[in-house]
Amino acid sequence: MLKYKIAVASGKGGTGKTTVSVNLFYTLQKILNQKIQLVDCDVEEPNIHLFTKGILESTQDVIIKIPVIDKDKCVYCGDCAAACAYNAILFVKSISHIAVLEDLCHGCGACSYVCNQPDVIIEKNKKLGVVNSFVLPNGGELIEGKIEIGTALAVPVIGKTLKATDENSLRIIDAPPGTSCPVMETIKEADFIILVTEPTPFGLNDLKLMIGTIRKLGRKFGVVINRAGLGDGAIYEYLQNENIELLMEISFDKNLARIYSEGKIIVEEIPEMFEKYTLLFEKIKINLNEADSDC
């Protein structure tokens, strides 16, 4: 039983992360006889469910605790406002005004910790998003995180999504775009990271940023080039100079773009692509086995 945690990421958006995640999942579901979970951590815009069309089995709310200040009991000392690192408590001593700016609150609990009056700050739940579990027609599972529209806090939803996965399964984790905190939260414990990019100057620039992040984390990774044939050759030169493994190339093809646009699974439509993804997994396995022999 393989228990790999494979993350699929890219600095630039729209390079094909979800395509690679979903098609790798469908390929492995065919060639491996074990539990596999597909995990959607692109919590701002989760899209995998559009392709997998599963049955929603359970939904779990992601909540944080935010303060409610009892203005009658408050002595207006200002300690809570001073303790808040997010400027989420508006305090004007001269007119005895205090208010919680809920959108800025990260729910850390510092204000209620420092408040020395009994029962002045109580906490209420604020919903940041949900973690949905789907059972899929091919027998696999999809765990999807999704933030509420208007929520600025993605990281706690990603954390909860990853916690809801099964450690005894092989997990394919679709990361959000970018290189900042939501991405780090998603990939920091992955065994292997597939970086999906395209051979354009934007693609290369964002790939370099992403590789900087991954090297800081000390994770194993390789690169998939999507839409090969567009753009220029600079990316190939970069990979060669940096000694980075090119795991797979997908040619730019309007037919593939159309299949994707309709929400269909490419490896189920085109046998050649199934073989490509099988080979991709073989390469990842070699990388991960090397890791084992190092230990």
Binding site for another protein (CB under 8 A): 11-15, 18, 43-45, 47, 50-51, 64-65, 83, 85-86, 106-110, 113-114, 147, 149-156, 159, 176-185, 188, 200-202, 205-206, 209, 212-213, 216-217, 230-232, 254, 257-258, 260-263
CB 170 within 8 A of CB 4: yes
Measured from the CB atom, the residue of 114 and 246 that comes closer to another protein is 114
Helices 17-31/271-294 angle, 10° precision: 80
Measured from the CB atom, the residue of 51 and 281 that comes closer to another protein is 51
> How many Cα atoms within 13 Å fall on the side-chain side of residue 173?
34
| Least distance (Å) between residue 154 CB and another protein | 5
| Least distance (Å) between residue 91 CB and another protein | 17
Q: What is the DSSP string of 112-150?
A: HHH--STTSEEEEEEEEEEEEEEE-TTS-EEEEEEEPTT
The SS3 of residue 259 is helix
Cα(256)–Cα(233) distance, rounded to whole angstroms? 22
CB 32 within 8 A of CB 167: no
CB 254 within 8 A of CB 264: no
List Cβ neighbours of 275 (8 Å cut-off, separation of 6 or more).
Answer: none
| Least distance (Å) between residue 72 CB and another protein | 26
Measured from the CB atom, the residue of 71 and 163 that comes closer to another protein is 163
DSSP H helices in the chain: 17-31, 48-52, 79-83, 110-114, 155-163, 181-187, 201-217, 234-242, 254-261, 266-269, 271-294
Cα(191)–Cα(177) distance, rounded to whole angstroms? 19
Measured from the CB atom, the residue of 75 and 104 that comes closer to another protein is 104
| Least distance (Å) between residue 201 CB and another protein | 5
Q: Which two tokens stand for residue 184?
A: 């780090």
Measured from the CB atom, the residue of 15 and 27 that comes closer to another protein is 15
| Least distance (Å) between residue 68 CB and another protein | 17
| Least distance (Å) between residue 19 CB and another protein | 9
Measured from the CB atom, the residue of 29 and 151 that comes closer to another protein is 151
| Least distance (Å) between residue 188 CB and another protein | 5
Measured from the CB atom, the residue of 49 and 171 that comes closer to another protein is 49
Q: Which two tokens stand for residue 133?
A: 């579990």
